[in-house]
Chains A and B, each alone.
Chain A
Amino acid sequence: AQSVAQPEDQVNVAEGNPLTVKCTYSVSGNPYLFWYVQYPNRGLQFLLKYITGDNLVKGSYGFEAEFNKSQTSFHLKKPSALVSDSALYFCAVRSRSNDYKLSFGAGTTVTVRA
């Protein structure tokens, strides 16, 4: 079985400070990993994904994520947070051996204060 854990329900940061949203996963074999963002009353928007290769993945809106195989983590980061980054963030994993199913974490609410 595959699963995703987002250990923090909420993350609060001041504008201009670094933002980190944590994600750990469990899957058999090598994973495909994804980050999505959801703004209020909207659908999920794709931010970035890890497929293979470079462990540091860059995505939309200045976000990046680092894949760490030994720690089975895929933390989302942004060097300088904006108030407009306040949203709900989801990490998701898919196994390469069962590549229909995409499993989501419960989500982390990010609040960036001015």
Chain B
Amino acid sequence: DAGITQSPRHKVTETGTPVTLRCHQTENHRYMYWYRQDPGHGLRLIHYSYGVKDTDKGEVSDGYSVSRSKTEDFLLTLESATSSQTSVYFCAISEGRGQNEQFFGPGTRLTVL
């Protein structure tokens, strides 16, 4: 987890409210990713970024948006939280694509009531 922090680590919110999760890195890696982890599904990619202000959708992007205004910060926003978005969210970083491994943050546990 060194070099990657996520905030908050735990959050409980109500259906319909907006929620923003923050990922901060000190490694100066170009690529950043947001995943959600659900039992039986492993990790699924929500959005990723390949540079400042350069982002793209992953496989489960509906209901989520992202922003990256600085190399070190990658924000994930749930525009109007739903109960199906209750999950554990992980941020990851990597130096490059292809053969480069990703390094993961400690996760944020989000509960939407």
Hey, which bits of chain A sit against chain B, CB under 8 A?
Answer: 4, 32, 34, 36, 41-46, 49, 51, 90, 94, 96, 99-102, 104-107
Contacts and interface: CB of A to CB of B under 8 A. Distances in A.
Given A43-B106, A100-B48, A90 B101 contact: no
Interface stretch (B39-47, B65-73, B76-84): B39-47
Given A34-B101, A102-B102, A44 B43 contact: yes
B69 to A, nearest CB: 21
9 contacts: A32-B99, A43-B104, A44-B43, A44-B90, A44-B104, A90-B42, A96-B98, A101-B45, A104-B42
B103 interface: yes
Contacts of B104: 36, 43-45
A35 to B, nearest CB: 10
Contacts of B42: 4, 90, 104-107
B101 A46 contact: yes
Contact of B90 (A43, A49, A96): A43
B97 A43 contact: no
A101 B58 CA distance: 8
Interface in B32-78: 40-45, 48, 50, 56, 58-59
Interface string B77-113: 0000000000000101000011101111111000000
A32 B90 contact: no
A106 B40 contact: yes
Contacts of B92: 44
A102 B58 CA distance: 10
